[in-house]
Structure 1
Amino acid sequence: MQESAQAIQEQASDSAPSEALESEGASRLYLAACFFEDKGDGRLIKQALNKIAKAKGISGVARASGLTRAGLYKALSDEGDPKLSTVLAIMKALDLTR
């Protein structure tokens, strides 16, 4: 990948996630980089989905994925261990499955 997940993650800092991840292309690139660099524990992928969800609006993403806001936060938290079906529902709600 030309841009590492680290570089993209720095651009999408918690202080301004919506600016860096506002476009669908940036969100897709960021998630792809995190998949590429994840060590197999899913931590980077969950962080990426969490930041993208915050950029797009947690309430809307939760509603579109069929989760509650609390359920979405829990699934994407450091302690969360979401099922594949939950991850796919979140990705679909974020329009990242096409």
Structure 2
Amino acid sequence: MKYTKFDAAEFLDSEEAITAYLSAVLEENDPDLLIAALGDIARARGMAKLAEDSGLNRESLYKALRPGAKPRFDTIFRIMKALNINIQAKAMP
């Protein structure tokens, strides 16, 4: 039996799917997982469009969203803004 590699980006085909995915990731409080999820969302929406909308070049985006990257917060903020993603604060239980 042959298996294919799972790619979350293939399933992020609506705003609802993206919101649910990112909400679940944020609940994990794992910065590396957040970077990976933003990379999945970026691929689902298109890196070229994200580069244009964020004002970052594609190479910088790939570097910022690769596994193990430690991008600056302003880079993450620009990416999230370009993806029309808003973070909301809520008290932890």
1:1-98 equivalence runs, <5 A? 13-14=6-7, 17-18=9-10, 20-39=11-30, 42-97=31-86
The alignment covers a number of residue pairs equal to: 82
TM-score (structure 2 length as normaliser): 0.80
- Consecutive unaligned residues of structure 1, counting only runs of 5 or more, are 1-12
2: CA distance, partners of 1:25 / 1:66: 25
Contact 2:32 2:68 in 1 (8 A): no
Task: Measure how far apart 1:38 and its partner are.
Answer: 3.4
Larger radius of gyration: 2
TM-score (structure 1 length as normaliser): 0.76
Percent identity between matched residues is 41
SS at 1:25's partner residue?
helix
Calculate the aligned-residue CA RMSD, in Å: 1.6
1: CA distance, partners of 2:54 / 2:86: 13
Letter in 2 for 1:58: M
Letter in 2 for 1:68: N
4+ residue runs over 3 A deviation: none
